[in-house]
Structure 1
Amino acid sequence: MRWYGGCAPDGPRIVPTGARVLWNDPLLWTMGNWSPRLVRTVESPDARLALFGSCSADMEELGRALAAADLAGAVEAWAGSFTVVRLRRENHGEGIVEVVTDAAGACPIYTVNAPDGVVWASSSRALSSLVGGKVDTIWLASYLWDKKAPVPGRSAWADVTPVPAGQRLVLGMNSLETEPWWSPVVRRYEEALPAVRLALTEGVHARVEGVRSSTDVAGIDSSTLAVIAARSGPIAGVTAHPSNVIEGGDLDYARSLTVPGLTGMLFPLDGRHLPFTPTEEPLPAADEPPPSAAVWAMLSAQLGKSAAIGAVCHLTGDGGDNLFLPAPTHLVDLARNRQWPRFVRDAFDWARLRRQSPAPVIRAALRGDTHGVARPWLSRPRWLAADVPDPVRPDCDADTWLVQSIRTVARAAHADTQLADSLGVELHNPYFDGAVLGAVVSVPSWQRFSARRYKPLLVDACGDMLPELHRRRVTKGLFVGDFHRGLRANLRCVLDRVDGRLSGLGIIDPVPLRESVHAAALGAETVWAALLPVLAAESWWEAVVSAPSITWDTRPRVERS
């Protein structure tokens, strides 16, 4: 697993065993196999700067950020997903460490109060080994209640504290402070289009230039990334499809995507790739339950296919739906602004599209209940037995909802990148880039939404790069049936997990959970957004218990490697 971290200026003199040390005082290190393009450093007589992750900035821009009075302001316009760390020496030689977290939350940062001071890192699981290595069952229970609103200020690991996305962590002598550095701007629709395009093109370019890469090619989100990536060099486009289906759906769209530099690859799916299928390659340990835990059989096989052709970087379209196909949370904004004709039209258009009554969404919007508009189906799972309070969901506008939603999904997706690390493949999600989020949320919420056009903001920003067939697409692939079949085929091993650690600790009641699993296996309508997290959590807990422990080197001085 690739991760990085460091110590406060007056912090402990420790590094994880096997680390590559970048700075010795205070300590800064990396763990795992990092490509040089993902770790860059610059120095001056009184300052040092390190950048971790995919970023569009060149070395000259890093040099300007090194000397900038406002570090966060200097890096705000850079595309990609990354963390910036700077050490500055004050007049008396005391060091100040600044850690600028990315705006979208795709590169999580955590801290712990170790016995000799503060240690920070990009892996909560790694840091937990300094403070007992115990799962935070309060966080986990709240995650099972609502995976998009786990209890704030905690992580999946006890005594490991997350630094919120879009904030600046400042570590000094005997001090730790955080402050927000990012806030959305407002643009006219026409001004936002080039911003969306630039953020995506530069973010993709920073990842694939000069690197053997592959990408999903399925819906319009991944197809857009494929076309952009092909402009930076050769790339393999992987399209998954049922082995007994040779035309229609994503296959037709993938075959129409004939652009220079893009080579199509088919990935036939059979019973070995069904959700919940056991694999020879066990689920790797990650910081929290990975979103792809249920489909690890498919994901590991697909990434293995990419690795077999020499690809070290794989792009996904994850996050595209969250950004460009939002729930009608803009209705709350329209109601607050008393834009009643548009409010009524959009509410009825949405209801017609979903084949449901408009009354619930209208009532929720008039109450200012953005969460009720976005997820009216949400309720406490029957199997959740832990005494955990209802999630904290303060009223907010559509922009705040979108930012919070992206940050939660992006943080969770980081666990999937840790799964991919175990296979030697970098998994990248450009739609979770901070610059992309900033460009999208700059558009008024009611202009981002349409029940009559499919992903209008993405199509208007990047559609000219796609064939006409893709620009006219109004559907996306659905794999719900695969989950029902996967449960049916692997029912015994899934039921075994129901009686696992979560049940033993009283976090869940196995009886109603077992009933829900049986019903889903029979094809009953299932709220997968509630069922999948509890099954993923059990698999994850088994993986972290089975993983080798993380050890630390406590030598008082470590030489730079």
Structure 2
Amino acid sequence: MRFLVVPDSPAGEAVVASLRVPSRGTPPDRPAPRVIPHRSGRPWIAGWWRDEDVVWAAAGERRVAVLGRSAATAAWLADYAARLRGLDGAAGLPWELPGSFHTAAVVDGVVSVQGTLSSVREVFHTRLLETTVAADRPDLLAGLTGAAFRPEWLASRLVAPEPPWPVSERSLWEGVETLEPGCRLEVSPDGRGRVRRRHRPPAPDVPLDEAAGRLREALRDAVAVRAHGRTMLSADLSGGMDSTSVCFLAAERVERLVAVTCEATDPAADDAHWAALAAKELPRAEQVLYGVEDFPRCFAGLLEPDPDLEGPFPAIQTREILIRQARLLSALGSSRHLTGHGGDELFQPNPGYLHDLLRRRPLRAIRQVRAGRAVHRWRLRPTVAQLLDRRSFGDWLGRDAGRALDRPIRGVMHAPLSGWGSSYRMPEWATPDALASARRTLQETAAAGAEPLSPVRGQHLTLQVVRQGGALVRRIDRLSSRLGVTLEAPFLDDQVVQAGLAVDYADCLRADRYKPVLVDAMRGIVPQRNLGRGSKAEFSADVYAGLRRHRSELLELSDGMRLAGLGLVDPGALRAVLMSPPPFPHRLVPLLGTLACEVWLRSLEAAPAPAAAPTVHP
């Protein structure tokens, strides 16, 4: 699916007319765009989608559309539209309707559009023909405006493990903006755009028992939306608690569930064992096992361009694996696949909550810090310094986050957190110009008044990783949808995210319990022995195996690097790492962002040239 939302005006009509001309954002093999009209007959929403992806209705002057995954019907939406008293009512639709979807509305001639809290459904906007235009992807807008990417912002995408918020979500296309989280975009009939807040994170104070009940119902509804009208679904069954929970909820809703388990490279990994235990208890399910030999290794296919030009692909090392998985799922007869993405981000309390707990319940915080030091080997002095830190988000982002970028990466594990984020580092192969550019971007972003996603540091970090997980699902879905399989992540729905954010983190920061709110929510649904799993696999063996298998292609990628041509990377230093990978996995993390940026730059070169900008005809 890809779409535009425009106001009821000649300019909006001209923008939609230009979609018929092939450009960077509109592949030449696309048919003419589908159109949902304003009451005047001019286009309101235009793009490419399947019937099941969009539901809309009108009630007098009002219009409401849901684009994505929901169980809404046109009759239900018509009734909802009739009851609207303004755009605030349309913005509240995700709290009444489970699922994952964009919401678009027209009330009193004003158009609004919004995505999801997790960014699985994101909104981008720009100015074109003196009017504000919104879309679900930035490259579509860049193709219409003829915009180039901004190389001065690309350096910040080399920051590992991810650039800090809000730099991580900034569109790399000139003149194309990303809608702020928890906001909606309003466009008046004269084309002026305004961003309005629709949501603020809930106070994280709901007791564990109550929170587990809310989460159970939200997850059940989220999975039910994916099963609506279907007799068959496929789902990941990795053996982890997240995918296992999704599988058992899905098995309640469909006649046939294909539970997919993939073997890990590391023979010590026990995920397959736990997946087998769960599969024995799954009703109406068949487990499909894939071995290591059924998939490419990590880093396969990076010499091939990426068809998705939004920006660097977040998990570039697994791109070919994801494509192969989609082909295998399609061969099994699946067109909708469920995943546990978002579970780790939402239910595994991050160390940032220790900072907040220390001020709220000091004795409990001290006990948890001691347990964390024993498990993670945090050093005492940097741990205490970070827990006592009182810097504002702006001060940290504009000064301290950038100051640490060139420090040795071996120090990132010494403390549970670093201000309002993790310990951000530039790769050792980044040039001095790249380092200076990344620091400048952080400083300028802070000076522009950047605010955290939540005033609670732990909740801010949770929202940051939830949105990173949502962006990954968004991009994976585009890959798999090209092969006829949509990817669905129930944990990243607004109602589920809201339930997870509201949990009292003091009840979840427990060294003796793993994801306690999810465990309690799934009690009686998932077998007790799976809920009591005390181990967790890690996948660095897959990364090292992929580096060995595809070293020659990666070395070829480092020749004639576009990043080097921009003055951002020293290819010789990169080749040295490829030839002799470091023994500690966290030192390989910077490699992923660099490769993603390089593949993206090469993909831009292979894409069709932008079409001429549209014009309004008299």
- Residues 349, 451 of structure 1: 8 Å contact kept: yes
Determine which of 173, 196, 199 is the counterpart of 1:157.
173
Distance in 2, Cα, partners of 1:374 & 1:531: 23
Q: 2:562 aligns with which of 501, 510, 524?
A: 501
Of 292-301 and 183-192, deviating more is: 183-192
Report the RMSD for the aligned CA atoms in angstroms. Answer: 2.8
Aligned partner of 2:2 in structure 1 is 3
Which of 425, 437, 440 is the equivalent residue of 1:388?
437
2:143 matches 1:143: no
Counterpart for residue 192 of structure 1: 211
Separation of aligned partners in 1, 2:302 and 2:311:
20
**TM-score, normalization: structure 1?**
0.90
Report what 1:423 is aligned to: 483
Displacement after TM superposition at 1:368 (Å) = 4.0
**Cα displacement (A) at 1:401:** 2.5
Q: 436-445 or 400-409: which moved more?
A: 400-409
Q: What corresponds to 2:358 in structure 1?
A: 335
SS of match in other structure, 1:349 = helix
* CA distance 1:383–1:240, change in 2 (3 Å): same
Question: 1:93-104, aligned counterparts within 5 Å?
Answer: 95-104=109-118
Shift of 1:551: 5.4
Q: Deviations over 1:160-205 (max 9, x none)?
A: 1111122111100232111111123343322211221122111121
- For residue 111 of structure 1, give the secondary structure of its aligned residue in structure 2: strand
Describe how 1:153-552 pairs up with structure 2 within 5 A: 154-174=170-190, 175-186=192-203, 187-211=206-230, 212-218=232-238, 219-233=240-254, 234-242=256-264, 249-257=270-278, 258-270=281-293, 273-278=296-301, 283-337=306-360, 339-368=361-390, 372=418, 376-385=422-431, 386=434, 387-390=436-439, 391=442, 392=446, 396-397=455-456, 398-499=458-559, 500-520=561-581, 523-548=583-608
CA 1:376–1:185: 2 relative to 1, 3 Å: closer
Q: Deviations over 1:116-157 (max 9, x none)?
A: 522210011111112224222233221222524253783022
Aligned-pair distance for 1:64? 4.0
Q: Deviations over 1:26-82 (max 9, x none)?
A: 523454442x33210111221111100112545554234313222223432432211
Distance in structure 2 (CA, Å) of the matches to 1:29 and 1:402: 33
Which AA in structure 2 matches 1:506? Answer: G
Q: CA deviation at 1:96?
A: 1.0
Partners of 1:268 and 1:279 in 2: CA distance: 22
2:105 equivalent among 67, 70, 86: 86
Question: Which SS does the other structure have where 2:470 is aligned?
Answer: helix
CA displacement, residues 327-378 of structure 1 (integer Å, 9 cap, x when unaligned): 22111112222x2211111111112122343443332111147951686543
**Whole-angstrom CA distance in 1 between matches of 2:349 and 2:580:** 29
Indicate conservation of the 8 Å contact 1:49/1:86, yes or no. yes
Residues 80-135 of structure 1: per-residue CA shift (max 9 Å, x gap): 211111112x3xxxx21011322222111011111352221001111111222422
Match of 1:52 in 2: 67
CA distance in 2, matches of 1:429, 1:547: 29
Question: How many pairs are equivalent?
Answer: 547
SS at match of 2:112: strand
Whole-Å separation in 2 of the counterparts to 1:152 and 1:479: 24
Distance 1:55 1:244, change over 3 A: same
Paired residue secondary structure (1:12): helix
Aligned to 2:94: 75
Q: Cα 1:61–1:104, aligned 2, differ >3 Å: closer, same or farther?
A: farther
Residue 421 of structure 1 and its aligned partner are, at CA, apart by 2.1
Q: Distance in 1 between matches of 2:506 and 2:58?
A: 46
Deviation, structure 1 residue 501: 1.1
Contact persistence 1:104–1:166 (CA under 8 A): no
CA distance in 2, matches of 1:238, 1:256: 14
Does the 8 Å contact 2:271/2:537 carry over to 1? yes
Unaligned runs of 5+ in 1: none
Counterpart residue number, 1:27: 43
Distance 1:195 1:58 in 2: 25
Distance 2:266 2:594 in 1: 31
8 Å contact kept, 2:335–2:486: yes
Residues 1:134 and 2:148 aligned together: yes
Q: 1:59 to 1:22 in 2, by over 3 A?
A: closer
Please tell me the residue identity of whatever aligns with 2:236.
D
Post-superposition Cα deviations, 1:378-406, rounded to whole Å, max 9, x if no partner, equal: 32322333232433586742222222332
The 8 Å contact of residues 56 and 202 in structure 1, kept in 2 or not, is answered as: no
Work out the CA distance in 1 between the residues paired with 2:157 and 2:334.
34
How big is the shift at 1:320?
1.1
Identify which range, 504-513 or 427-436, moves more after superposition.
Answer: 504-513
Alpha carbons of structure 1 residues 232 and 153: separation in structure 2 relative to 1, 3 Å:
closer
Mapped pair 1:42 → 2:41 = no
| Kept in 2: contact 1:327–1:373 (CA 8 A) | no
TM-score, length basis structure 2: 0.82
Q: Hey, what's the Cα distance between the residues in 2 that align with 1:529 and 1:275?
A: 13
* 1:244, distance to aligned residue in structure 2 (A): 9.9
SS at match of 2:125: strand
SS at match of 2:102: strand
More helix by share: 2
Q: Is 1:108 the equivalent of 2:108? A: no
The letter of the residue matching 2:181 is A
CA contact (8 A) 1:227 1:262 kept: no
Once residues 302 and 76 of structure 1 are traced to their aligned partners in structure 2, the CA distance between those partners, rounded to angstroms, is 33
Q: 2: distance between equivalents of 1:401 and 1:330?
A: 9
3-state SS of 2:167 partner: coil
Corresponding residue number in structure 1 for 2:404 = none
| Secondary structure of 2:321's aligned partner | helix
Q: Is the 8 A contact 1:317 1:431 kept in 2?
A: yes
Moved more, 456-465 or 6-15: 6-15
Helix, strand or coil at the partner of 1:527: helix
- Residues 554, 155 of structure 1: alpha-carbon distance in 2 compared, 3 angstrom cutoff: closer
Q: How far does residue 22 in structure 1 lie from its aligned partner after superposition? A: 1.6
- Asked whether the 8 Å contact 2:114–2:123 carries over to 1, the reply is no
Task: Give the partner amino acid of 1:292.
Answer: A
In 2, Cα distance between the equivalents of 1:316 and 1:552?
A: 40
Structure 2 Cα separation of the partners of residues 144 and 106 of structure 1: 22
- SS of the aligned residue for 1:130 comes to helix
Letter in 2 for 1:126: L
